[in-house]
Homo-oligomer: A and B are copies of this chain.
Amino acid sequence: MSIESLVKKEIRGPVRISPTRLRLKMPPDVISLAAGDPNFLLPEYIADAVYKAIREGYTHYCFGGDPELKEAIARYYKKFGYEADPMKQVIITAGGSQGIFQAYATILNPGDEVIAFDPSYGGGRSPLRYFGAKLVFSPMKKDAEGYFRIDIEALKEKITEKTKALYMENPGNPTGIVYTKEELEAIADLAKDHNFIVISDEIYTEFIWGGKKHIPIISLPDMEDRTIVIMAMTKMFAWAGMRTGWIISGPNLTSYINRVPTGITGVPWPIQKAAIVALNGPWDFVKGQAAEYEERIDYCVKRLNEMPNIKCVKPEGAFYLFPDISATGLKSAEFCAKLFEQEKLRIVPGSAYGPAVGEGHVRIALVRPLSTQTMPSWFKVEPDKTLEAAMDRLERFTKSLAK
């Protein structure tokens, strides 16, 4: 009998190449602005904190996660106006992606529906197939300025008896929007009226521009026990490879999330100890990153808007640009493929974020330095392989298309 008959039915199908084998060796002259992997080196005091914790013997089981870390997380989140009980409402996860899995693993039965906006972050919905759940896209609409905003009427139409959850990122990736209080209230009302859960991915809350303010949807009335907040050190502290995140939810819902038997808390205790140090401040490192990101954004938005057939608004949050390329006449996948072929610049087609509304756009992650910056020695880029060079390549490409 075949092995396939022995695996969970949702994951049967032709054998695909395992993700581990998709690690492409990039030629040296490629610039990739695809993944959102912050290009900062962690400050030395973080490495010191990890080292110290190992030497002090924090290498034993830490069942359920370090209570001090949970306190530091609750203290941090308070600045957004919501006070969580550390022991009853915080769960430590191995990064945001494990948090997303754990959230879905708590709530989904086969046949359930989950709504995600078009466009939205693919990692927020890729686990659905495994759970036998159905993904339903709800289209966003662009306002006069060119910002994606939620279309509450469209969202309402997508809700059925089977709707179990809405997945959203705030600030948005790739949209770069920060939800207004009115938008969040409209979503919360739907969640309460139609009895679904909001999975609120809040990974970019430290990177908000132009005076916008992050409001957690969990802080709205009666939303505690129907919100699962996903956060991580990943972007905030350039901590991607250190795999540290958390879930904040209502006390009741948290007790269910804790029942998913993903194993003993996955974040090594020494890394948890370092996260406590990081979250307790100082925040200079985070503020320094934010200043650098905003400089990159301002530079690139200006450059993009000077290119033929490209329109780009300054995001309200996060460090992605999602310019409209529809006037070039190319589909986003074709645009990206040709760009890579001609200019060895890798960015992501908008269709990866949403088939209808995301199409016509491309996502550019501003994780590479401007050439004027002094990079730490470990960050091995040649002076010409920078954001400035990337914009030059994109400009040359869009000009060639316009001919």
Contact = CB atoms under 8 A, between A and B. Distances in A.
Interface of A: 1, 3-9, 11, 15-23, 35, 37, 41-42, 44, 46-48, 50-51, 54-65, 67, 70, 87-88, 91, 93-101, 105-109, 126-127, 130, 164, 195-197, 225-226, 238-244, 250, 252-256, 258-271, 376, 378-379
A169 to B, nearest CB: 16
Nearest to A126: B261
A120 to B, nearest CB: 16
Contacts of A108: 8
Nearest to A110: B110
Contacts of A41: 55, 57, 59
Among A57, A63, A95, A99, find the residue whose CB has the most chain B CB atoms closer than 10 A: A57
A11 B256 contact: yes
A96 B19 CA distance: 21
Nearest to A197: B6
A258 B18 contact: yes
A100 B266 CA distance: 13
B264 A97 contact: yes
Among A61, A197, A243, find the residue whose CB has the most chain B CB atoms closer than 10 A: A243
B252 A56 contact: no
A96 B50 CA distance: 22
A17 B62 CA distance: 17
A15 B61 contact: no
Contact of A226 (B6, B60, B254): B6
Nearest to A274: B54
Contacts of A65: 20
Given A6-B226, A11-B106, A107-B7, A61 B268 contact: no
B54 A47 contact: yes
A9 B261 contact: no
Contacts of A47: 51, 54-55
